[in-house]
Amino acid sequence: MPRGMFGTEKSIHRTLETAANSGFREVWAGTLNSAQLAKELGLTVHGGFSLNVTNSAALHWYTEFGLTDTELSFELTLRQANALGEKLPRGLVVYGRLPLMLTRNCPLANGGGCRHCQTTHSLRDRKGISFPVQCFGGCSEVLNSVPLSMLGKLSECSGQDFGVLRFTTETAEQRAQVLQLAFADKPIAGKVTHGLYCRGVL
């Protein structure tokens, strides 16, 4: 489900209802309102990283709320994530381009209309670094220039119940390669970041 709805809740509810009637039963929800919409339709709700779960009290609250499991905030260090209590299954994003910004107005469309979405899919900063932009559900996400990857270091995430591979800009071939590396716990080639998992916010 989209992380930003901006007044489209009724439309998304209809879409969810259609999906549920077609047999879909599981939903990823990155906000409380999207999780509530899914719950109202009796769907199984998996919490996303943008619920900002950073402590045991939050895990307890989301257990009471009815989540099946949840991703933890990627602003936690591995040490902090592995030390959390409670019984709600939890995991970390271990691969993927993390979102830097969520906007209601598309930064690509502002340059001359939505025709740019057909020709350009990234912003470039003054250093020439490219930041992919994806539009979904009435909002746009500006993604990091390089993917986060803990592949090759998954043993350091041993306190988690699962790891999440967050595919955004990858081709089908690249996705298959990442899956193979993840199962073998081998590092990915190319430039990556470990995000805040190793250094923390401060």
pLDDT band at 182 (very low <50, low <70, confident <90, very high): very high
Q: What is the pLDDT of residue 2?
A: 81
Going by C-beta distance under 8 Å and a sequence separation of 6 or more, which residues neighbour residue 6?
Answer: 104, 138, 139
Which of 10-24, 127-141, 173-187 has the highest mean predicted lDDT (pLDDT)? Answer: 173-187
d(CA 160, CA 153): 13
Which of 131-140, 154-163, 177-186 has the highest mean predicted lDDT (pLDDT)? Answer: 177-186
| pLDDT tens-digit readout, 96-136 | 999 999 988 877 776 555 555 554 588 889 999 999 998 87
Q: Is the pLDDT of residue 202 over 70?
A: no
Find where tokens 């906000």 sit. 31
The domain ranges of the chain are 100-143
* Cα-based distances in Å from 169 to 9, 126, 149, 164: 26, 22, 15, 16
| pLDDT tens-digit readout, 142-154 | 999 999 999 999 9
Q: Percentage of the chain with pLDDT > 90?
A: 73
Return the higher-pLDDT residue of 118 and 82.
82
Q: What is the pLDDT of residue 104?
A: 82
Q: What is the pLDDT of residue 139?
A: 81
pTM: 0.89
Q: What rounded mean pLDDT belongs to the chain?
A: 90
d(CA 96, CA 18): 29
Q: What is the pLDDT of residue 117?
A: 57
